[in-house]
Amino acid sequence: MYTVAVLISGSGSNLQALFDAQDAGDLGGAEVHVVVSDRSDAFGLQRALARGVAAACVPLPAAPSGPSRHAVRAAWEQRLAKVVAAFTPDLVVLAGFMRILSSGFLQHFPNRVINQHPALLPADGGDTVTTSTGLVIPALRGAHVVPDALRLGMSVTGCTIHRVTPRVDDGPILARTEVPILPDDDEVSLHERIKAHERRMIVQVVRDLAAGSSPKS
Ligand code: GRF
């Protein structure tokens, strides 16, 4: 059994793709055992509950600015890690989880956290990506990369799945797909097209990782 924890902040259509693949016997024996969100209104929690999969919300408390902000955030990461660790996951998937996780969280799941990012990221951690046609485009990082790609007038963007390190939107690449930007694209249409690729990629990556896993000690 290859146990998967999925962290979400929103709709959870990628989570649903994992559920669907699991039902179709297409997830290589991997099973989603828990879904955790920082937002109680994340629809992905309902998707989990509807299947009888454990679902939890660990909200990040509003904190005043200043030094105490760091302590509040560190304590939240520990609470989050405790909930996830209770399910002893082989893999933690950040599927639209809109919070940055530091080593305070990551150290509990060494080399076991992967992230979906709706833009192309480079393998070398640099500031540009070279596409399959030799075009050099900016590596877009952060929470607004779909509108950023439109604003910059790029002709191609994409999506990436990578292992998570303490550096934001960085880490070894597991899968990447280029997505052309069409002349009449807006943020919604472009993001939907990217997400269709993300759903296919996340299933493939989880299946491959499950297939290559060594038994839990
Ligand atoms: C995806 O585009 C993911 O890359 C981004 O948030 C989106 C999540 O979509 N970080 P959904 O909640 O799975 O529908």
19: CATH: 3.40.50.170
**Average of pLDDT values for 66-95?**
95
Ligand 1 within 6 A of 89 CB? no
Residue 12, domain member (yes or no) = yes
Per cent of the chain over pLDDT 90 is 92
* Pocket mutation for ligand 1, best pick of 7, 116, 193 (most atoms within 8 Å of C-beta): 116
Ligand 1 within 6 A of 47 CB? no
Strands (E), the chain: 2-8, 30-37, 54-57, 91-94, 113-117, 128-130, 136-138, 156-163, 173-180
Residue 53, domain member (yes or no) = yes
Residue 216, domain member (yes or no) = no
| Domain containing residue 161 | 2-211
Q: How many Cα atoms within 13 Å fall on the side-chain side of residue 112?
A: 24
Ligand 1 center to 95 CA (angstroms): 6
Residue 86, domain member (yes or no) = yes
In angstroms, the Cα distances linking 88 to 28, 97, 110, 217 are: 18, 19, 12, 11
Residue 146, domain member (yes or no) = yes
Which ligand 1 atom is at minimum distance from the Cα of 8?
12
Residue 13, domain member (yes or no) = yes
Domain count, the chain: 1
Ligand 1 within 6 A of 198 CB? yes
Band (pLDDT 50/70/90 cuts) for residue 68 is confident
Active-site residue among 33, 70, 117, 162? 117
Residue 162, domain member (yes or no) = yes
Residue 155, domain member (yes or no) = yes
- 22 pLDDT more than 80: yes
Find out whether 89 and 109 touch, Cβ atoms under 8 Å.
yes
**Average of pLDDT values for 51-60?**
97
Q: Is 94 exposed, middle or buried (0-12, 13-18, 19+ CB in 10 A)?
A: buried
Tokens of residue 138, six digits: 């900016």
* 117 classed as catalytic: yes
**Average of pLDDT values for 59-77?**
88
